[in-house]
C-alpha cells in the first residue's frame, strides 16, 4: 500500500518542473507515495499567507520558494497519476523558524547548527503558531497523513536557554522529558485543529 520515494527540498531546492518529472517516474514504476520533506534547518521554501516571513526570510532565494498555487498544482498533478503527496515539516527541531513575530525559538540545536533551530516547548505561542500554520498547509496537502519529523533534538539543547532551563527546573524535567512534553502539548493544543489528519514521526531519540 505504501511504495514511496522521499525528496528533500529543505536542503536543495528542486524546481516544480523537476518534481513533476519525478512524479511521472513514480507512476511509471508503480510507486504511489511522494514523501515531500519540504523544509529543514538549511531553508524554509514553502509559502504561507498567514506567516509570509517563513519563506521570505527562510528560503535560499526569492526564486526558491514554492507558492501555495505551485504546491496545490503538484498535489493535483500527482493525484492524476495515482501518487499521494505526504508533506513533512520537521518539529520541533530541524527548523529555520524565521520571520514569525512572537514565535520563541528554544535553542540552536546541536552539531554546529546542523539540526537547526528548535521550537520552544514551554511557550503557548509555539502551539498557537503550529495549529494555524499546519491547518493552512493541511488545506493544500489533502492526504490524510502529515509527517512531522520529530528526530535529532539533543537532550542538552534546551538547557542552553536560561528561561527554558529555569522552566525545566521548576517542572522537574530534563531535556528528554521536555521533548516528550512538546508532543503531549501538540496532541492537546494542535491536533484538534487538524481533525482529518493522522501524524507520522521518525522513530528516534527518547520519544
> Which residues are catalytic, by number?
152
The gap from C-alpha 125 to its chain's centroid, in whole angstroms, comes to 16
How many other CB atoms sit within 10 Å of the CB of residue 141? 24
- Residues 6 or more apart whose Cβ sits within 8 Å of residue 186: 91, 127, 130, 148
Find residue 80's DSSP bridge partners.
Answer: none
Residue 52 corresponds to which cell in the numbers above? 509570509
Angle at 125 between CA 35 and CA 86, to 5 degrees: 10
Cell 493525484 belongs to which residue? 79
Nearest to 154 by CA among 200, 94, 88: 94
CA distance 85 to 78: 7
Contact of 95 with 118, CB cutoff 8 Å: yes
Amino acid at each position: 500500500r505504501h511504495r514511496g520515494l522521499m525528496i528533500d527540498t529543505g536542503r536543495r531546492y528542486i524546481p516544480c518542473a523537476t518534481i513533476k518529472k519525478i512524479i511521472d517516474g513514480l507512476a511509471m514504476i508503480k510507486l504511489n507515495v511522494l514523501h515531500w520533506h519540504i523544509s529543514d534547518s538549511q531553508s524554509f521554501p514553502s509559502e504561507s499567507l498567514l506567516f509570509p516571513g517563513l519563506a521570505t526570510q527562510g528560503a535560499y532565494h526569492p526564486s526558491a520558494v514554492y507558492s501555495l498555487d505551485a504546491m496545490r498544482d503538484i498535489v493535483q498533478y500527482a493525484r492524476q497519476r495515482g501518487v499521494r503527496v505526504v508533506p513533512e515539516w520537521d518539529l520541533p527541531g530541524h527548523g529555520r523558524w524565521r520571520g514569525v513575530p512572537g514565535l520563541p525559538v528554544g535553542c540552536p540545536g546541536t552539531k554546529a547548527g546542523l539540526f537547526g533551530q528548535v521550537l520552544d516547548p514551554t511557550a503557548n505561542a509555539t502551539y498557537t503558531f503550529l495549529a494555524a500554520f499546519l491547518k493552512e498547509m493541511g488545506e493544500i496537502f489533502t492526504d490524510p497523513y502529515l509527517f512531522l519529523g520529530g528526530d535529532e533534538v539533543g537532550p542538552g539543547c534546551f538547557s542552553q536557554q536560561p528561561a527554558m532551563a529555569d522552566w525545566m527546573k521548576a517542572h522537574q524535567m530534563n531535556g528528554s522529558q521536555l521533548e516528550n512534553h512538546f508532543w503531549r502539548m501538540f496532541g492537546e493544543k494542535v491536533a484538534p485543529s487538524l481533525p482529518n489528519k493522522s501524524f507520522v514521526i521518525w522513530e528516534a531519540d527518547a520519544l
